[in-house]
Chains A and B, each alone.
Chain A
Amino acid sequence: MADLLRLSVSPHIHSGRSTAGIMRDVLIALAPTAIAGTIIFGLRSLLVIAVCVASCVIFEALFNIITKKEQTVGDLSAALTGLLLALNLPSTAPIWQCAVGSFFAIIIVKCLFGGIGCNLVNPAITARVFMLVAFGSMAKPAFPTIVDTVSGATPLVNMANGNEAPKLTDLLLGLKGGAIGEVCAIALIAGFVYLLIRRVITWHIPTAFVGSVFIFSLFAESFDFTKALAMILSGGLLIGAIFMATDYVTSPATPAGKIIFGVGAGLLTFLIRYFGVYPEGVSFAILFMNILTPYIEAWTARKVFGGKKS
């Protein structure tokens, strides 16, 4: 066979980018957040993370075996879904709930719709919303063993009750109640910078999302910068805007579409926070915008160079 030459159509080289590589980068970008969460909320955070990651990977592997599909856990997307789900839960979340949430994310939201690339909504976000509704999973927030996301005395609830905005340094460092991965703004922003440098995501969605929440809050708080700033540093906004709203599968691919998606999610988050029953609305906002994504993409399709004006 030594003198046979391989024939194929061009191109004959590849950039080396891969799905697994992209997922690995997002996992790396989330590492500071996971570490910060563990320091802030204690070692039980690690247990929540381990259970979610392991169960997501195992559920996907089993699904592929049972349905005789090609094994896809190697693309690391299931592991990423598990990590994102864990980071959206309080460190006190019961283990069995973690497993049920993982099942919902991987099997119901992802695999049953055809696996990676075919899901309509973000698995981790949808599972978080499911757990919120089914178990009231954010009802008993964890507080820093050194606080929770949706209720009690998280910053958002405090502010909703008319209390003073918390200290900015506490918000930046994550010394507040909430889910494992949503409190430490510095770690999340470090992850954002990493993803930008690695060109995994673009600035459009996170900036439009966080920016619009900031501007809407600024108006609502009669231009109190500190409060508006506290609004964007509280709750699940940063992790949502940076890591969940930027999921390729469920967000628009066009730059203009990304801006619309970000601003839409920002507006919905603001409306839910200020006028809704729930103090936090990031998950609902992303979920809703996920559903609008195909329409946004169609509206903002790139004009073909030299093509007729559409």
Chain B
Amino acid sequence: MSFFLKGVHVPHRKSTENKPALRLPVPKTVTIPMAMHIGAPARPTVKVGDNVKVGSLIGEATGAISAPVYASISGKVTKISEIITSNGSKVPAVTIESDGEMLRDEAVCPPSVKSREELVEAIRKSGIVGLGGAGFPTYVKFNVDPAKIEELIINGAECEPYITSDTLTMTERADDMEYALKEIKKYFGIKRVIIGIEANKKKAIASMKALAGKLEGVEVAVLPTLYPQGGEKVLIYHTTKKTVPVGKLPIDVGCVVINCTTLASIGSYLRDGMPLTEKCVTVDGGSVKEPCNVIAPIGAPLSALFELCGGFTSYPEKVLYGGPMMGIAVPDIDAPVLKNTNAVLALTEKEAKLPKTTACIRCGSCTNNCPFGLAAAEILLAYDKKDTERLKALSVEACMECGCCSFLCPANRPLVQTNKLAKILLKEEKAKEANKNG
């Protein structure tokens, strides 16, 4: 195995890197979905007409993997409706009309943490989920036998084009990160913490090196600027040389990976007690007049963020949650800011234009540049035949959907797109077999 996994050089376009974040004026209304995380949606605990304040619980967690949801502004609940999330499922959403006061809920106070169990419970209550974009409830990662954790890896790679919100966390919120690390190290007895950052983020590296100097067992790993450096298994390999087997989790090799903004959010919750109710979001893309990072209450409509950034130079062709490599296209410009939204991009027609799909010329660039060595072109052929045995043999389940294959394909074939479908096909087949046998 080579020293570094393969990847691609994507354009950086990090024009918001050196600008301070703007704070969004309190929006008139916010719409807060009950599913902004992987796992069971939260259940609304408020009804229409209730008064809420910033930090009031409005949705409770409903399963082993779930996360509570809190009000991000003060005001009155005006609507509880079903909205369609970007993955197509319907979830309840609570709409709050602002009273313009941003009053803090009196019940919000720093949690008392005196044991590991209390720390995990505090993280659960904070409503924090994987803020790098995945949205996996963070407490679940820490709900493990502490003896198993050999390394805690802080993901500051931020390898997607445009996005700089994590960089801003590392430069502006090092104190929150430090506080969280101290607490986690204390209660979990973690000996080694590695902060992984791509080499092109000089300021973030300097800030994190200063942090590492203050804490024992914390180191900064400066990584090649190569997408998808921030992919969990990629980051683990590059910082520890450990390989996570296909179908296994980081904890199976003794690693816990959390995003740097997730860590900072844990710190600020432990210090202040305010759960996750606002998010720093990179607002960028060719259609945005003055790209900038914006701190916005969760549930704020994307249109308000664009407006704060000077509006559009031309109406966007595509609006995305997240980066252009793995982000999700949004159907509605008034879609809400979610917990795991790290960027919203408004792409011009030119930026969003993809070349025509033509015949495969067997150049091998998909396989040769796949971080995991998957043969995307072969997977596409097998998927077309619905050959599930072949799909398994090609290990399509290992795909992290980074999109390097499609990005590079000179024939612009739907490679990663087919990988996603193939993974669903295998899951469905597994479910069918489980039904038959059980």
Contact = CB atoms under 8 A, between A and B. Distances in A.
Interface of A: 2-3, 5-19, 21-22, 72, 75, 77, 115-118, 248-249, 252-255, 301-308
B355 interface: yes
A14 B333 contact: no
Nearest to B9: A15
B157 to A, nearest CB: 17
Contacts of B246: 304-308
A118 B352 CA distance: 30
B317 A75 contact: no
Interface of B: 1, 5, 8, 10-11, 161, 233, 237, 243-246, 248, 315-320, 324-333, 347, 351-352, 354-355, 358-365, 367-368, 370-375, 394-395, 398, 401, 403, 406-412, 416-417, 420
A22 B362 contact: no
Given A18-B410, A253-B367, A2 B318 contact: no
B398 A116 contact: no
A246 B322 CA distance: 39
Contacts, number: 153
Given A2-B315, A303-B373, A306-B243, A15 B5 contact: no
A16 B356 CA distance: 11
Contacts of B374: 304
Contacts of B330: 5
A7 B407 contact: no
A248 B362 contact: yes
Interface residue SS majority, chain A: loop
Given A115-B359, A253-B364, A13 B325 contact: yes
A6 B8 contact: no
Nearest to B322: A10
Contact of A5 (B316, B327, B372): B316
Given A304-B373, A305-B373, A254 B367 contact: yes
Most chain B CB within a 10 A radius of its CB, from A11, A115, A254:
A11
Given A11-B403, A13-B11, A15-B408, 13 more contacts: A10-B416, A12-B318, A12-B352, A13-B351, A13-B352, A18-B412, A72-B359, A118-B359, A248-B364, A253-B362, A302-B368, A304-B246, A306-B243
Nearest to A21: B410
B364 A254 contact: yes
Nearest to A18: B410
A305 B233 CA distance: 9
A151 B319 CA distance: 65
The 6 closest A-B pairs by CB, nearest first: A253-B364, A11-B403, A302-B373, A305-B372, A304-B395, A248-B363
20 contacts: A5-B317, A6-B317, A6-B318, A6-B329, A7-B318, A10-B403, A11-B416, A13-B10, A13-B324, A13-B354, A17-B365, A17-B408, A18-B411, A22-B363, A116-B359, A253-B363, A301-B375, A302-B367, A305-B233, A305-B371
B410 A10 contact: no
Given A19-B361, A19-B411, A10 B367 contact: no
A254 to B, nearest CB: 7
A228 to B, nearest CB: 32
Nearest to A252: B364
B331 A7 contact: yes
A305 B407 contact: no
A304 B398 contact: yes
A39 B209 CA distance: 62
A11 B398 contact: no
Contact of A11 (B315, B324, B333, B375): B324
A18 B363 CA distance: 11
